[in-house]
Amino acid sequence: MKRVILSFLVAFMSFTSSFAQFTEDKPKAVVGIIVDQMKYDYISRYWDNFGEGGFKKLVNDGYFVRNGQYNYAPTVTGPGHASVYSGTSPAYHSIVNNNFYDREKGKGVYCVDDKRYTTVGSDSKNGQKSPYRLATTNLSDEIKWASNFRSKVYAVSIKDRSAVLPAGHAGDGAYWLDEKNGNWITSSFYMKELPQWLTDLNEGKKRPIDKYMKSDWTLSLPIERYGASTEDSTAYESLFPGKSEPTFPYSIKKGVASDRVRAKTGRKYDIIKGTPYGNTLVTEMAMHIIDNENYGQDNFTDLLAVSYSSTDYAGHAYGPQSMEVEDMYIKLDKELETLINHLDEKLGKGNYVIFLTADHAGAQNAGFMRDRMNFEAVNISSKEDTQAIETVLNARFGEGKYVASNYSGQLYLDRELIKEKKLDLEEVQLATAEAFMAMPQYAAAIIGKDLERNEYTLGYKGLIYNGFNPRFSPDVYGVLKSHNMDYGKGGTTHFSPYKYDTHVPIMFYGWNIPHGETHAPHTITEIAPTVCSFLNMNYPSGCYSNPIIIPMKK
């Protein structure tokens, strides 16, 4: 009998111990890559001009979500980066735009400005930033918390908001380019002084940025290989400093010499952002972080957020039909290959996971749509539209300046004036919406009171609802008709709830990720919970999305 009991106890203890043991198979590192203004179709359009080690590697050896969508509007950089890493929309994380009107302060604000902090790495004010407006935790925060703050989290971009927002509240460092002196800088929110390796890089006699500032931007391939683009010079592009037409090659040195605006405002190095060298600088900085911060070298998963922003500058300047944008992506493909090879060398193949997506896509140039697509599209002016709306409101409610701010149709009313005049806010919102709809360039106008009372899930009303935060969002949304844009005649922009602004690639590659693809609809807010599921940890606090189901390798 004792033998039976003993055998039972041994078996029971073995059974329970198997449950007590929880072996975690996790990657050493997560590398999040966001390509600013990357349209989904750039993968297929430029495929034949890509090498084997960049985009093609991610597609051929990774998992490709082909129907990746933004599920809110406006589609711009600040909210895009905040949403990818927080797994939620502006309705919850509160980054409603790059710039927006703060009713409590009574003025326009920038999404990451914070004068409580100082610049680290420069004597400029370009480092006075923090993520304090980000109202939820994000992937970076949860990785820090899950490891009891032993994981390392860094972010790098030439844009401040594209580094600050991914790094979250608990990140070890966010670095961006100082357009005044070309240094990599950060904020005292993160650290009191730069690490020595970065100080040495900034103060070195042979800084890479100084070499690039004397370089030319030339085509990567023979011009006949650029079949996905228009001819080199069109009326749909803007001009590089020092150029009389938008044609290759581009001399950065001559551009600096002729750019009086940047010189006068102390922004000499800003010019590099609109060239492929801006992306090269980001790749180099990412590799410096990997090499100098013991990245991916212990038992706690690290995160590196890499945002390539020069693609956005090129899109704004030349438009998605241009050779400049195509060449920018051909060169970015090489940057990705360089970064992947470096990760393989330092961490080992299969020991890290990459996700790649965009912070928004982009529209086609309105003039191009008119001339070559026979599509009625116009360039509008928010300033002129605001004046028209003021005229209507003055005629109806009496003299006053009713519009506090208008960001491309996102219109904020002066609520203090409305209160002084003892007017009903909703009545003024409705009158403003009617004024929008009296202008033929608008498809719809939606008021804030409507979004506060009702829930919308479909069409552009659903996207605007997901982007609506009662404290920070506008009083009235004027939705432009498809392909109309609040922008100049050269290049393009992004902002709308239309598919040309919302459809982006989503890719996963590396650790336990199989080769495969899906055409099922998925949103960018599903990326963060997917990565959290890889790491067996909590989702960010405002994340209501589910992870993408990927049939992982055993």
- CA 332/CA 2 separation, integer angstroms: 71
Mean pLDDT of the 7-34 span: 63
Alpha carbon distance 59, 49 (integer Å): 15
Range list of H helices, 151-275: 161-167, 196-203, 208-212, 252-258, 260-264
Task: Identify the DSSP state of 363.
Answer: P
Comparing CA positions, the residue from 374, 258, 241 lying closest to residue 317 is: 241
Task: Return the amino acid letter for 140.
Answer: S
Residue stretches of the annotated binding site: 98, 159-161
Catalytic residue among 75, 77, 137, 432: 77
4 pLDDT above the threshold of 80: no
Average pLDDT over residues 524-552: 98
Q: Convert the pLDDT of each residue in 130-179 to its tens digit.
A: 999 999 999 999 999 999 999 999 999 999 999 999 999 999 999 999 99
Arithmetic mean of pLDDT, 248-263: 90
Q: Which residues of 8-37 are buried (b: 16+ CB within 10 A; e: fewer)?
A: eeeeeeeeeeeeeeeeeebbbbbbbbbbbb
**Res 263: pLDDT:** 78
> For the chain, what is the mean pLDDT?
95
Rounded Cα distance, 166 and 509, in Å: 19
Judged on CB neighbours under 10 Å (0-12, 13-18, 19+), 416 is: exposed
Quote the pLDDT of residue 15: 40
Contact call for residues 32 and 84 (beta carbons, < 8 A):
yes
In terms of DSSP bridges, do strands 63-69 and 522-523 run parallel, antiparallel, or are they unpaired?
Answer: parallel
Instruction: Look at the block and give the residue holding tokens 């005629």.
Output: 395
Token code pair at residue 53: 């080690």
Residue 386's pLDDT band (cuts 50, 70, 90): very high
Note whether 461 and 427 are within 8 A (CB): no
The model's confidence at residue 553, banded by pLDDT at 50, 70 and 90, is confident
Residues 6+ apart with CB under 8 A from 289: 154, 156, 175, 295, 304
Look at residue 14 in the predicted model and tell me its pLDDT. 43
Tell whether the model's pLDDT for residue 485 goes beyond 90.
yes
- Cα angle 420, 421, 426 (rounded to 5 degrees) comes to 100
Active site residue 311: no
70 has pLDDT over 90: yes
Instruction: State the binding site for substrate.
Output: 98, 159-161
**381-401 core/surface letters (b: 16 or more CB in 10 A; e: else):** ebeebbeebbebbeeebeeee
Omega of the bond leading into 320 within 30 degrees of 0 (cis) = no
Rg (CA), the chain: 25
Reported pTM: 0.95
With bands split at pLDDT 50, 70 and 90, how would you rate the model's confidence at 476?
very high
- Look at residue 1 and tell me whether its pLDDT is greater than 80: no
5 pLDDT higher than 80? no
Longest Cα–Cα distance of the chain, Å, equals 99
Distance CA 176, CA 529 (A): 26
CB–CB of 495/501 below 8 Å? yes
* pLDDT surpassing 80 at residue 17: no
Are 29 and 354 in contact by the 8 Å Cβ rule? The answer is no
Q: Are 473 and 102 in contact (CB under 8 A)?
A: no
Residues 6+ apart with CB under 8 A from 244: none
Nearest to 38 by CA among 485, 502, 518: 502
Q: Which residues contact 110 (CB under 8 A, 6 or more apart)?
A: 98, 99, 161
**Domains delineated in the chain:** 29-365+498-534 (3.40.720.10), 382-440+442-480 (3.30.1360.150)
- Chain centroid offset of residue 204 CA: 30
- Cis geometry, peptide bond prior to residue 74 (ω within 30 degrees of 0): yes
**Residue 273: DSSP 8-state:** G
- What was the pLDDT predicted at 259? 84
